[in-house]
Chains A and B, each alone.
Chain A
Amino acid sequence: MSLLAVQRGFQTRIVEAGEVDAAHDSRFEAGMAVYRNAYRARLISCLRETYNKTWSWIGDDSFDAAAAHHLILNPPTGWTLDDVGVGFPETLKQLFPDDPEVEELAWLEWEMQQVFIAPDSRKMDGAAFAEATADFGDDDWAEMRLAFAPEIRLRPIATAAALIWEALSRSEAPGGDVMLPSQTRLMIWREGLRPCFRQLEPPEAEALDMMLGGATFGSMCEFMQDSGGATAEMAGAMLGRWIGDELIAGLAV
């Protein structure tokens, strides 16, 4: 039998937990069981580690069932074990259609880890920003566009996934409503080496969305004024926070 045939047969018996093969003795079957058990245990353990808070939220049985389901539909293909977690939030979305916080919490966990190992990028600090804008006139401010740190993730959320995360991090039982009063956005980024997240409130959520999409600072200020009477000072304070949080890479050319 060719090596390729041996390896295909071996892999099938690990993944699919096939019947005992009469061609082999009990010792061989016992050895195969070690590989079979290790395969399943290793992958589920990886998912438990990657999605630790989601695991805490839905419990052992539900999590392991979802993990097994995910691994059947998405057998690992990447060279890094971490990639076993790719697509797990989508799997959870299908399995928990009435519990949207499960998918949102899993998304938060996955993306926090992706931001953790994202490429290092240069950030613009307050001094650099002040220097770059020192000669700005009113028109320059109105036309200013920002280049953001490439690792930033921003998505709509409908649930208190961020609060659930924080409570679980403190080993506390999450309280309050699972659903938010209205949909908003959740942002993930990195300050130095530390991944961070923040649930944004209107109008910052929309304003950041606009600026990430390439809008000018002037159009963002107009939007804020139209949507709630925010002043230029408030827009400036928001911009200052973005700089302090290390969201800004520079001024867009």
Chain B
Amino acid sequence: MSHIAPFTGFGLGLRREHHADFLEHDVPVDFVEIISENFMVDGGRPLHTLDKVRERHPVAMHGISMSIGGAQGLNADYLARLKQLADRIEPLWVSDHLCWTGIDGHNSHDLLPLPYTQEALDIVCANIAQAQDVLGRVMLFENPSSYVSFPDADMAEWEFLAAMAARTGCYLLLDVNNIYVSAINHGFDADAFLAGIPVDRVRQIHLAGHTPGDIVIDTHDRAVCEDVWSLYAKACARFGPCATMIERDDDIPPLQDLLDELAIARDIAAAQERVAA
């Protein structure tokens, strides 16, 4: 319940376009990450596919609908369904995002930004405690990409994450692309973000592509860019070997393209390990 052992493999998200690859071939990944909600169904092919993939690979569950920052608390039905899936597949861990998705019964189906205030921290921590209690396991929470910030924030995002982890015992899923995107959008120093994250709380790293512009948007529709690879190298140097995966959710290429991209992550992580040694 209170600890997640480090896992240091390299993985990919399980997307519908690649289901056949994972069912018919021995895909060279160390773990697979699923979008939890896609498999929180009663039966049929999705769960059949997941069970087959689980026979071959460790699976991490990554959610998008917990709304851990919701001021009105968590959805009990959602938590029950999430637990049902977690009990079925025995994942490496269960993660979601530091965000809220709706209020007053409305669901925007987006990862909306929180003001990093003391009140928000209290609410998030209470919600995490409830989620971890229902699931019977500690969770990981991911730093989101965001496009607005709130002037009355009491702390920086990394300070919020560190305090949240310290108070709840949760771990962190560090999305390096999200750090990069938010750093540009809000004008903070990505290196300061990394330096503010407690080393012992990070259990997974996400990498993804984004759309450049006046406001950088986290689109997951293209390859990881050079700047994000550079930031990943810094993350590897600070956090050491850590489960790493590439997220691709739109304009999804053949699986081999993503495996080639994952090889870059392996090379960068290995290079940083050699430096550390």
Chain A residues with CB under 8 Å of chain B are: 1-4, 6-8, 10-11, 14-15, 28, 30-32, 34-35, 38-39, 42-43, 46, 75-81, 84, 115-121, 190, 193
Chain B stretch 36-52: residues in CB contact (< 8 A) with chain A: 37, 40-48
Residues of A within 8 A of B72 (CB): 4
Kindly list 7 other residue pairs between chains A and B, CB separation below 8 angstroms, not including A35-B147, A118-B44.
A3-B119, A8-B104, A11-B104, A15-B106, A31-B148, A35-B110, A118-B42
**Ranked 9 nearest A-B pairs via Cβ:** A31-B148, A31-B147, A117-B41, A120-B43, A4-B71, A119-B42, A79-B65, A193-B45, A3-B71
Contacts A3-B115, A7-B100; A14 near B108 (Cβ below 8 A): yes
Task: Decide if A76 touches B45 in the complex (CB within 8 Å).
Answer: no
Closest to B101 in A: A79
Residues of A contacting B: mostly: helix
Residues of B within 8 A of A8 (CB): 103-104
CB distance from A40 to the nearest CB of B (A): 10
B130 at the interface (CB under 8 A from A): no
Task: Decide if B44 touches A117 in the complex (CB within 8 Å).
Answer: yes
Task: Decide if A7 touches B70 in the complex (CB within 8 Å).
Answer: yes
Contacts A3-B120, A30-B214; A190 near B44 (Cβ below 8 A): yes
Give complex CA distance A115, B119 in Å.
44
Residues of B contacting A: mostly: loop
Residues of B within 8 A of A76 (CB): 102, 106-109
Question: In the complex, which range does the number of interface residues on chain B fall in?
Answer: 35 or more
20 A-B contacts (beta carbon < 8 Å): A2-B71, A4-B103, A6-B150, A15-B108, A31-B146, A32-B148, A34-B147, A34-B217, A35-B108, A35-B112, A46-B109, A76-B102, A77-B105, A80-B65, A81-B37, A116-B45, A117-B46, A118-B43, A119-B42, A120-B43
Task: Decide if B44 touches A11 in the complex (CB within 8 Å).
Answer: no
Residues of B within 8 A of A4 (CB): 71-72, 103
Task: Decide if B117 touches A11 in the complex (CB within 8 Å).
Answer: no
Task: Decide if A30 touches B115 in the complex (CB within 8 Å).
Answer: no
Task: Decide if A42 touches B109 in the complex (CB within 8 Å).
Answer: yes
Interface centre among B71, B109, B114 (most CB of A within 10 A): B109
Task: Decide if A80 touches B40 in the complex (CB within 8 Å).
Answer: yes
Contact partner of A7 (CB less than 8 A), chosen from B103, B105, B214, B217, is B103
Give complex CA distance A76, B102 in Å.
10
Residues of A within 8 A of B112 (CB): 7, 10-11, 14, 35
